[in-house]
Amino acid sequence: MSSSVRSSPIRRLAEWDTARLDELASTHDTPLYVTDLERVRENYERMSGAFPDASVMYAAKANTAKAVLQTLAEAGAGIECASAGEVERALSAGCAPEKVQYTAVNPPEEDLDYAVSVSTEHPELTITAGAEDTISRLTERDFFGRLCLRVNPGVGAGHHEKVSTGANAKFGVPIDRAPSLLAEADEAGFEVVGIHAHAGSGIRGEDLSAHRELVSRMGDLAREVDVDLEFVDIGGGFGVPYRSEEESLDLTAVAETTREALGECEGTLVVEPGRYLVADAGVLLTRVNTVKPIGEERVVGVDAGMTTLARPALYDAYHEIRSVVSADRPDATATVAGPICESGDVFGTYELPAPERGDLLAVGNAGAYGYEMASQYNSRPRPATVVIDGERSAVDRRRETLGDMTRLEQEVAWL
C-alpha cells in the first residue's frame, strides 16, 4: 500500500491488494472477514490528530475483535462499552480500567452486577447511567464510584432512523432534568465525573448540523451544572462514505466546528468514534456458488448472506462489491444474493465482470458492524476472521463448524 493510500481519509475497496485477498481466501476459505490493523492505527491517528485536546474513546460495538481492541488501546484510545460483555472483552484485551467506560442502555441485572463487581477491583472504571432508575439500581448495589450521566439533548441524526439516538426517549435522561440529577447524585456520594450524549451513527453531510446542535446543548449543560465535571462526552457517529462517488468526511473541519459549538467549559472533551476507525479497515470475502440467468440480468448466489453481513437487510445499507478476478470479461448486471431462506437476503445489484461459479467477491467497508451483527440464523455457522498487519496475517476468530450449532444444547431434564 502506497503512502498516499495510507494518508488518505478513506480507503476505497479498489485500493485493497487483490492478490493478497485471493491468497487469504484460498488459505482460510470463505466467507471470510479481513481486518487491516495498520489501517485501524492510521484512522485513530487521524482522529486523535484532529482532536488533539480531546480524549478519544473507541466505541467497541463497531468491532470487538481482540486484536482490534489491543491495537487501539496500544495506540492510546480508551474503550467505550455498551454491555458487560464488551467490558469483559476490553479488560481481557489488556485495556487499562481507567480508560474503560461502561455506557449502559437499560442494563439487565446481570450487567449491572458485573460492572459493579469490576469497579470494586478497578475503581477507575466509569459507569454511565442513562436513567434515574439506573442510578437507583447502582445505589442498591452500594456503588458510589465514577458516574457519568447520559442525557437526551432532543436532537438526533444518523444514516437510518434505527440508529438515530439523540432524540430517542430510549437514550438518556431529558436534558432539562440533568442538572438536578447530577446534583442529587453528587450529594448522595457518587463521584460524578461527566455528562454524555450521542446523536446517532453514520453522521455525514446535512446531519452535521444536528451534531453541532447536540454539542452546543452539551456545552450549555456543562456550564449550567453545579458539579465539577472531568469530561464532556459528545459521542461519536462520524460517518464514512460507502459509495465510491461519496466524499470522505472533512474531519479537521468537523473538529473545529465541534470545539466552536462546545464553547468554553470545564472538563475534557471526549469523542467516541467507532465506525470511523474500523469500517474501511475491513473487507468481507465471499465466493460465488450459483449463477442464475434471468433475461438480461442474473442472480449471483454467494456463500455470505444476511447472517454474515446484516446491514443491507437491516438498514437497506449499500456496500460496494468488486470482483477479485483477473479474467478479462464484459460487465454484467448481477443481483448478489446469499444462501438464507429470506427474500431480504440480498446485498444489492451491481455491475461486475460476468460472474462465474468460483469467483471471489470482496465487500467493502465491512470492518464496522459486520461480524458483530453476524448470527446463526438458518443454523449457519459464523465465518472466520483474519487480521493482517503489514506482511503478517493471523486468524483471530476461527470459523464455526456445524458441530458448534448444537454445542450449547442439552437433553431436556424434566422436573
Phi then psi for residue 242, to 5 deg, are -95, -20
**DSSP assignment string, 238-301:** B----STTSPPP-HHHHHHHHHHHH-S-SSEEEEE-SHHHHGGGEEEEEEEEEEEEETTEEEEE
Single-letter amino acid, residue 300: V
How far is 55 from 53, CA to CA, in rounded Å? 7
Phi, psi of 107 (to 5 degrees): -65, 135
Q: Shortest CA distance to 201 belongs to which of 170, 239, 155, 233?
A: 239
Of residues 367, 391, 394, the one with CA closest to residue 284: 367
**78/72 Cα distance (integer angstroms):** 8
DSSP state of 216: H
Active-site annotation holder among 81, 148, 265, 341: 341
Angle in degrees, 0-180, between the axes of helices 251-262 and 208-224, rounded to the nearest 10 = 30
Distance CA 192, CA 146 (A): 6
Q: Locate cell 440467468: which residue?
A: 293
CB contact set of 73 (below 8 Å; sequence gap of 6+): 79, 90, 93, 94, 95, 96, 99
Residue 98, beta-bridge partner list: none
Alpha-carbon separation of residue 353 from 300, 326, 328 (angstroms): 12, 10, 8
Q: Do the strands 191-196 and 231-236 form a parallel or antiparallel pair, or are they unpaired?
A: parallel
Residue 309, sorted as left (phi over 0), alpha (psi -120 to 50) or beta, turns out to be beta
Residue position matching grid coordinates 498487519: 389
- Please say if 341 is a catalytic residue: yes
158 φ/ψ sector (left φ>0, alpha ψ -120 to 50, else beta): left
DSSP labels, 75-110: HT-EEEESSHHHHHHHHHTT--GGGEEEE-SS--HH
Q: Please identify every residue annotated as catalytic.
A: 341
